[in-house]
Structure 1
Amino acid sequence: MKRLIPAATTLALSLAFAYAHATEGMWMPKQLPTIAKELKAAGLGLEPAKLAQLTEFPMNAVVSLGGCTASFVSPQGLVVSNHHCVYGSLQFNSKPERDLMKNGFLAPSLGEELPAAPGTRILVTVDASDVTGRIIDTATAKLVGKARTDAIEKNEKALVAACEKEAGFRCNVYSFYGGLQFQLIKQMEVRDVRLVYAPAGGIGNFGGDTDNWMWPRHTGDFGYYRAYVGADGKPADYSPNNKPYTPKSWLKLASSPLKDQDFVMVAGYPGRTNRLRLPAEVDFNLGWFQPAIIKAYGEELDLIGKATAGRPDAEIRMANMVKGLNNTMKNFQGQDASYRGSDILARKQQAFAELKAWVMADAKRRAQYGADFEAVDRLVAEQQATAKSEFLLRFATPTLLGTARNLLETAHQRVLPDAERKSGFQERDMLRQRQALEALDRRYDEATDKAISAHFLAQYLTLPAAQLNKPLLAALGVQPGMDEAAIKARLDALYAGSQLNVLATRLEWAARPVQGFETSKDSFIAAAVALYADDHRREDRDKELAGRLQQAYAGTMQALIDFKGSQGQAVYADANSTLRVSFGKVTGRTPGRDGETWQPFTTLRGITAKATGEGEFDAPEAELKAIHAGDFGSYGVKELNSVPVNFLATLDTTGGNSGSPVLNKNAELVGLLFDGTLDGVIASWDYNDQMIRSIVLDSRYMLWTMKFVDHADRLLNEMNAK
């Protein structure tokens, strides 16, 4: 039986000594009462226990967009997040003659609010419960490899099915500490989401990629959605008859001005950190994988630029992808710059060696954890070898082939009882599957896709023959020795032989039985059929490894928790897209980049100083006029002689926190988190309290823009803005 300390015991052990650096860490809400003393000392005005209640204010006002965070700010279901978090809906609703990405959007009335991009969700967390003992039960603990992976998945699906018997909710099981602990998270799922307002790109994306991850910053990174529900008040699919959702709580705007050194906290859904990763994983990811991504993304962006040049509709179709590629690439470049020449790997290796020595120094600990330590590095190395050999396939595989594979798997899974279907192909997933097929209609360009596939296929074919996926090459009709021109000619035939670029055709295939696929002449469908057996072979291979790795990794993490506990230190879980709270204070940094002092606030003066009238710094004329008019309303700060635009804070955050509400000591809204600094993004792997600064949109700039630039009086009144 797997040697697991009960979750409650582990949690108590982790938190008993958690306070030496309390501002470090993305805390689960239920942990906050344990650090109540530190929160109160830092300046929190509420009782910390209130923050642990997921269904009470303020936590129930904080929502997930599935990749970003947002929050309710009115009793009519108005939701605020970052401009870049609603950007996909701006892109989806844009056309060359109506470019919402450039010009922004403001709905004059409820009836004129636009449906968000297909698949957009507002998720409100209502419960989180520990289910470790039900995922790794007695029977599962005895299994290894694929059998263990399958059993874990079966247990997860059973818990999710029971949780989702209540209509309108989405439930998922999340892993903590590398598979040591599991939680079942229940969220209300709002499916009718509408775009309400976003400023022009010259405000919401002011500075573009040049300023991304940089300070000083002057970006109005905000946008609004609205949650709609059926007449009964429950989540429903889009209908013109739906009504705005009435949340139980919503955030109120700050009643007092935010100042330097003030307490702030952020609640959100950080995506992933890797601070507990093993040295071998640090070396692989920062030493090889992320540099490879930087190179590939750079090439991909160049290909997209060339393929869409002079074609406005194609540029709009690829805009969301371009924005995402640029953001990730620059983040990884920042991590790479911090990692090169640093002692991060050496420190990780030393710390792991100390842990291993502690385990091996005691016979009981050797018996408990020795086998896990022996296995974990070997299994991680096996995982990394596969990742290296298959890396280029993520870029070389045509989008429509991926669509065909998914459609074929859906057909195979549909004939099984729902409980026996693979995760991602159950009835609960079918609406999302359909919406993904619909979204492709505005996010796919054949010429661009073909250029990307040909370029990376040519690279892939230069790998050693033993590393090549021969079934894939056969299905695509390419072989080693082909030059890029020959590859393009073959791809031309493949693309010409498929109708999956047509939405109606994709939707038709989504309902067809397996037999229809096996006799199809559609080139991409035929390729998917030819690849089906090999796809499942590789899937089984990965499941076998995942099952063995879960055992070894969980044991290693338990040893780490025990070791740190013996030293009086905490081990908080890495971020995993579940609700977390971080806290800190408003403050600048000395030195900042190139030795200069970073002031805590930027102002409107920085916008006029940077504005060029073109490209990334094309501030709208209406904004420049409003700035020159000098009317700051109630949003100006006397000491700044301007409106604060962005501010810095010592908040521990990462990707997924975009759009997270930043709150003052009374849990009032003072800003929206939207970025970090380029020399601080390495914190995903290695925390440094001297470097960490989150960049936050000051709510006063957001409200000033709404009032004096875009005249969004309807929304200001709805939010009770003063």
Structure 2
Amino acid sequence: MKKLLLFVFIVQLGLSAKATEGMWLPLLLSQLNEAEMQSLGMKMTAEDIYSVNQGSLKDAIVHFGGFCTGEVISSQGLVLTNHHCGYGQIQSHSSLENNYLQDGFWAGSQAEELPNPGLFVTFIVRIEDVTDAVLENVTEDMHPKERQSWVDKNLPGVEAAAELEAFQEAKVRAFFEGSKYYLFVTETYRDIRLVGAPPSSIGKFGADTDNWVWPRHTGDFSLFRIYAGPDNKPAEYSPDNKPFKPRHHLPISLDGISEDDFTLIFGFPGRTEQYLPAVAVEQRVEVVNPVRIGIRDRALNVINAAMKADPGVRIQYASKQSRIANAWKKWIGESQGILATGGIAKKQAYEAEFAQRVKADPDFQKRYGGLLPEFERLYTEMGPYIKANTAVGEIAGRNIELFTLANTLHSIVKMYDSSGAPMVDSRMGRIADFIDRFYKDYSPELDQQVFAELMAYYFEEVEPQYQAPFAVEQYVNAGKTGEQLAKIVFAKSRLPKPEALKAAMEQGPEAFVKLIREDYAYALVRSISEHNEQGAEQAYRKLKDEIDALQEQYMRAQIAVFPDRRFYPDANSTMRVTYGQVKGYAPKDAVRYEPVTYLDGVIQKYVPGDYEFDLPQKLIELYEAKDYGEYGSEGKMPVCFIGTNHTTGGNSGSPAIDAHGNLIGLNFDRAWEGTMSDLNYDPSICRNIMVDARYILFIIDKFAGAGHLIEEMDLVHPKAP
């Protein structure tokens, strides 16, 4: 019976879906998507995209650092990804003397390429359907906890049974809320070197103002190289390693794009939640996002002012500010997009039809009739808990660096308590490295200002019953002002002072742990976190577990109740293919956005001396001379373009591939109006933003003078007669 249900499930997947929507598993393209993709203009077959028997597109795609995507664009292991994906590495190599963030970096030879400890890329070797093995002994009517217990028992054996080379790994991931399971066999390379990056005035042009916005004019790219051992297999860093030779690398098209051209995005999208009920989306818009946005508003106001005032702080906080601002602006666009497109009302209409179909079928009514009312009850009950828990997470867990340091040190205290001083002593080298990295890019003065703002929010906006008594006592003693509390904490705490921690470490684990335990900031953040853990978070987690179990049932219910609807799995950082077309859009009345931007627009935005819109003089000179080489088009230099591909976080750095399998662009963002695509894809305004491959080549060749990198790429003209 189970196999029959799964067979029906797969058949249902292929029946209907809006073109361009969805994040599809590459091994299922031949069953589900190939014909539709070809109807949109694709000239390839599914085997060209994903094959285990011969080199295919998937062999050029890498999971970059576990958080972005990259693609191999030469036979010598050259990897292209976004500037913002390589930002941390570029920053780590930067100083006031060699400011690669500001000035860019271009290795003149392979000997000059810079190693990046801790950075890795992962290839997918093959994907296998292991649903039957994982769900062995699982039945349809089994309680969710019993079901999960069997899955947990079966998973290790399934992974252990995978046929692997010594340097390969296997991992099983769940799809459709646990209705399907696939095994991914991977190869990971850990010697990754920085090859090239444009200055931030190109790679981050527009910075926060243009982030998530179209029209866009950002050259968001960087170059790395994979190095391997003498056998071309993964190896730890060694100066004797050689450039990796891939099974496949992407040729680069010089022919550019036109509206309605086919586009394929290949990558590792992080997380989407397409199948949430309307009440969950409504809670996101009305409760969760306002808390997140309000807290980060305060943090960013402080950080942005400090970065504008001090070039040193700008280098220190460039990556941190980008991380904080990226999510902040995304949440704003997500809420606005859902409201603008009536996303909640559409889900409510969908649920009304679901309820009508369920009511008309006695079996459905028995199994699924209570799902939607139960969602309503659980989300309503969870409202105050999720609001408080979200606020504490943003304040105590993410945006006050002193607290994030204290939280990390808390893990050392727990290690000491559970395993003793010898275990801590064995980790002292790693701890010292972490502390050095933390203080390298830390400004106590700036963090104190952020602390003052966010703790004021904590006491003004979080409901009193969710405020920690110890924290309230300290706030009262400080005259009930965040600024005064910040002064006291940063004066009394030893954590903002690296020399204090290092001195304690030199005395041994006991002295180090004693310093942490007795620290004022540590005591304050632990009181806030523990009060939240025992109150709002505990209540939230209990309800969330019930909601997750209900969501599993709702996913299976939707598939059963809507047999004519095509469902695709939510993103979960596994390899996916999305496809669409180059298209403009009209976000509001009397406004129409064209699908391509040009260097003319970069010059129009140019503001000398402005940290977001300044430009290198050489780029201006190339524009004035119209010196675009073979990369220009009809006297203009294309910069970015948009398409209808369904993307999300993790697709940063994904290749935009044309109908023939050539690189035409580099995915790096979404249009602000459509950032709600994680919850509700709407083809009218959901657009992904890509750097035109020709602009990338132009910057490498004409701007940077790194023609030796162009020479190792394959440049093609697929549109030529």
Q: TM-score range by the shorter chain?
A: 0.7 to 0.9
Q: Which letter does structure 2 place at the counterpart of 1:609?
A: Q
Residue number in structure 1 paired with 2:719: none
Range with greater deviation from structure 2 (373-382 or 495-504): 495-504
Aligned match of 1:671 in 665, 674, 691?
A: 665
Deviation, structure 1 residue 699: 0.7
Aligned match of 1:29 in 18, 26, 30?
A: 26
Q: Which letter does structure 2 place at the counterpart of 1:38?
A: E
Q: How does 1:455-474 map to 2 (within 5 A)?
A: 455-462=453-460, 463-470=462-469
Aligned match of 1:659 in 653, 658, 662?
A: 653
Task: Assess if the C-alpha contact under 8 Å between 1:146 and 1:543 holds in 2.
Answer: no
Task: Assess if the C-alpha contact under 8 Å between 1:198 and 1:222 holds in 2.
Answer: yes
Residue number in structure 1 paired with 2:560: 562
Structure 1 residues 516 and 696 mapped into 2: Cα distance closer, same or farther (>3 Å)?
closer
Q: Secondary structure at the match of 1:496?
A: coil
Whole-angstrom distance in 2 between the partners of 1:430 and 1:270: 36
Whole-angstrom distance in 2 between the partners of 1:133 and 1:407: 41
Q: How does 1:83-162 map to 2 (within 5 A)?
A: 83-116=83-116, 119-132=118-131, 138=137
Deviation, structure 1 residue 319: 1.0
CA deviations on 1:408-451 (whole Å, 9 max, x unpaired) are 45557779xxxxxxxxx9x9x99999986664344433333333
Q: Secondary structure at the match of 2:252?
A: coil
Deviation, structure 1 residue 611: 2.1
Q: How does 1:629-648 map to 2 (within 5 A)?
A: 629-638=625-634, 641-648=635-642
Residue number in structure 2 paired with 1:56: 55
Deviation, structure 1 residue 168: 4.4
Residue number in structure 2 paired with 1:396: 395
Whole-angstrom distance in 2 between the partners of 1:8 and 1:139: 13
Residue number in structure 1 paired with 2:386: 387
Structure 1 residues 341 and 519 mapped into 2: Cα distance closer, same or farther (>3 Å)?
closer
Q: Which letter does structure 2 place at the counterpart of 1:227?
A: I
Residue number in structure 2 paired with 1:302: 301
Deviation, structure 1 residue 202: 1.5
Whole-angstrom distance in 2 between the partners of 1:479 and 1:141: 58
Deviation, structure 1 residue 356: 2.9
Q: Which letter does structure 1 place at the counterpart of 2:661?
A: A
Q: Secondary structure at the match of 2:551?
A: helix
Range with greater deviation from structure 2 (62-71 or 347-356): 347-356
Structure 1 residues 179 and 606 mapped into 2: Cα distance closer, same or farther (>3 Å)?
same
Task: Assess if the C-alpha contact under 8 Å between 1:251 and 1:668 holds in 2.
Answer: yes
Range with greater deviation from structure 2 (351-360 or 229-238): 229-238
Deviation, structure 1 residue 97: 2.6
Whole-angstrom distance in 2 between the partners of 1:25 and 1:433: 42
Range with greater deviation from structure 2 (51-60 or 242-251): 51-60
Q: Secondary structure at the match of 2:697?
A: helix
Task: Assess if the C-alpha contact under 8 Å between 2:416 and 2:513 holds in 1.
Answer: no
Whole-angstrom distance in 2 between the partners of 1:434 and 1:186: 35
Whole-angstrom distance in 1 between the partners of 2:503 and 2:132: 45
Q: How many residues align structurally?
A: 701
Deviation, structure 1 residue 261: 2.7
Deviation, structure 1 residue 169: 4.5
Residue number in structure 1 paired with 2:244: 245
TM-score by length of 1: 0.85
Residue number in structure 2 paired with 1:488: 486
Range with greater deviation from structure 2 (381-390 or 258-267): 381-390
Whole-angstrom distance in 1 between the partners of 2:695 and 2:260: 19
Range with greater deviation from structure 2 (99-108 or 211-220): 211-220
Deviation, structure 1 residue 380: 4.0
Range with greater deviation from structure 2 (386-395 or 594-603): 594-603
Task: Assess if the C-alpha contact under 8 Å between 1:71 and 1:660 holds in 2.
Answer: yes
CA deviations on 1:35-78 (whole Å, 9 max, x unpaired) are 22212222211112332326731111111122221101112221
Structure 1 residues 121 and 433 mapped into 2: Cα distance closer, same or farther (>3 Å)?
farther
Residue number in structure 2 paired with 1:270: 269
Task: Assess if the C-alpha contact under 8 Å between 2:439 and 2:498 holds in 1.
Answer: no
Whole-angstrom distance in 2 between the partners of 1:299 and 1:363: 53
Task: Assess if the C-alpha contact under 8 Å between 2:583 and 2:595 holds in 1.
Answer: yes
Structure 1 residues 330 and 530 mapped into 2: Cα distance closer, same or farther (>3 Å)?
closer
Task: Assess if the C-alpha contact under 8 Å between 1:114 and 1:194 holds in 2.
Answer: yes
Deviation, structure 1 residue 311: 4.2
Residue number in structure 2 paired with 1:691: 685
Residue number in structure 2 paired with 1:550: 548
Whole-angstrom distance in 2 between the partners of 1:169 and 1:71: 20
Structure 1 residues 199 and 430 mapped into 2: Cα distance closer, same or farther (>3 Å)?
farther
Structure 1 residues 160 and 318 mapped into 2: Cα distance closer, same or farther (>3 Å)?
farther
Q: Which letter does structure 2 place at the counterpart of 1:633?
A: G
Task: Assess if the C-alpha contact under 8 Å between 1:498 and 1:524 holds in 2.
Answer: no
CA deviations on 1:318-360 (whole Å, 9 max, x unpaired) are 1111112222222222223333465321221222232233334
Q: Which letter does structure 1 place at the counterpart of 2:192?
A: V
Q: Secondary structure at the match of 1:647?
A: strand
Structure 1 residues 489 and 145 mapped into 2: Cα distance closer, same or farther (>3 Å)?
farther
Aligned match of 1:613 in 591, 600, 608?
A: 608
Residue number in structure 1 paired with 2:75: 75
Task: Assess if the C-alpha contact under 8 Å between 2:444 and 2:496 holds in 1.
Answer: no
Task: Assess if the C-alpha contact under 8 Å between 2:78 and 2:223 holds in 1.
Answer: yes
Task: Assess if the C-alpha contact under 8 Å between 2:468 and 2:532 holds in 1.
Answer: no
Structure 1 residues 143 and 690 mapped into 2: Cα distance closer, same or farther (>3 Å)?
closer
Structure 1 residues 607 and 229 mapped into 2: Cα distance closer, same or farther (>3 Å)?
same
Q: How does 1:310-459 map to 2 (within 5 A)?
A: 310-340=309-339, 342-370=341-369, 372-373=371-372, 375-397=374-396, 398-409=403-414, 439-459=437-457
Q: Which letter does structure 2 place at the counterpart of 1:652?
A: H
Structure 1: gaps spanning 5 or more residues: 416-424
Whole-angstrom distance in 1 between the partners of 2:129 and 2:253: 35
Q: Secondary structure at the match of 2:640?
A: strand
CA deviations on 1:136-184 (whole Å, 9 max, x unpaired) are 6648999978888787667656766776986544554434333443434
Q: Secondary structure at the match of 2:493?
A: helix
Structure 2: gaps spanning 5 or more residues: 397-402, 717-721
Residue number in structure 2 paired with 1:649: 643
Structure 1 residues 540 and 243 mapped into 2: Cα distance closer, same or farther (>3 Å)?
farther
Task: Assess if the C-alpha contact under 8 Å between 1:149 and 1:547 holds in 2.
Answer: no
Q: Which letter does structure 2 place at the counterpart of 1:403?
A: T
Residue number in structure 2 paired with 1:293: 292
Structure 1 residues 351 and 720 mapped into 2: Cα distance closer, same or farther (>3 Å)?
closer
Task: Assess if the C-alpha contact under 8 Å between 1:360 and 1:366 holds in 2.
Answer: yes
Structure 1 residues 471 and 141 mapped into 2: Cα distance closer, same or farther (>3 Å)?
farther
Range with greater deviation from structure 2 (216-225 or 172-181): 172-181
Whole-angstrom distance in 2 between the partners of 1:528 and 1:146: 34
Q: Secondary structure at the match of 1:197?
A: strand
Using the aligned pairs only, state the percent identity: 30
Structure 1 residues 234 and 441 mapped into 2: Cα distance closer, same or farther (>3 Å)?
farther
Whole-angstrom distance in 2 between the partners of 1:230 and 1:681: 41
Whole-angstrom distance in 2 between the partners of 1:532 and 1:274: 27
TM-score by length of 2: 0.85
Structure 1 residues 228 and 470 mapped into 2: Cα distance closer, same or farther (>3 Å)?
farther
Residue number in structure 1 paired with 2:215: 216
Residue number in structure 2 paired with 1:584: 580
Whole-angstrom distance in 2 between the partners of 1:73 and 1:717: 11
Whole-angstrom distance in 2 between the partners of 1:48 and 1:371: 41
Residue number in structure 2 paired with 1:718: 712
Task: Assess if the C-alpha contact under 8 Å between 2:254 and 2:715 holds in 1.
Answer: no
Task: Assess if the C-alpha contact under 8 Å between 1:499 and 1:522 holds in 2.
Answer: no
Deviation, structure 1 residue 107: 1.2
Range with greater deviation from structure 2 (352-361 or 98-107): 352-361
